[in-house]
Amino acid sequence: MKIAVEAGQDKSLLPDGPQQVTITHIDEGSSEHKGIPFFAVRFENDNGYVSHRFYQSPAGMPAIVSLFDMAGIEAKEGKDLDTQQLIGKTMTIEVGDRSYNDPETGNERTLKQALNFLVS
């Protein structure tokens, strides 16, 4: 079997703590359990990367609005946000672990993700 390695796939996960990053890629999808739409952002720098899912739900909207604000894109009522505008934006994020119970198995899972988005 031949496996192609694309640019950036040789990087490791970013260590915990504040990281100056650039948004390099956005994927869109829906959650496996409830079908909630999300977009996954790849935050990257020379030391590695971290991906973070942003869910388009009432509980997820504050994080989405904060992300766009930190990227310098105004989020206001009645205006649609385009995730593609985020690509290439630089900001400081806080990287850390988040634990949750997997809805299918009930087991606790831990993810490394962006916890805060700060103006850089």
Residue pLDDT, tens place only, 30-76: 988 789 999 999 999 999 999 999 999 999 899 999 999 999 999 88
Residue pLDDT, tens place only, 9-19: 678 989 999 99
Q: What tokens appear for 4 in the block?
A: 């192609």
Domains of the chain (ranges, CATH numbers): 17-118 (2.40.50)
- Whether 87 shows a pLDDT value over 80: the answer reads yes
Q: Quick one: which of 69, 67, 45 has its CA closest to 54? A: 67
Residues sharing a CB contact under 8 Å with residue 62, sequence separation 6 or more, in sequence order: none
Q: What is the dihedral of CA 5, 6, 11, 17, to 10 degrees?
A: -150
pLDDT at 118: 54
Q: Is-contact 29 66, C-beta < 8 A?
A: no
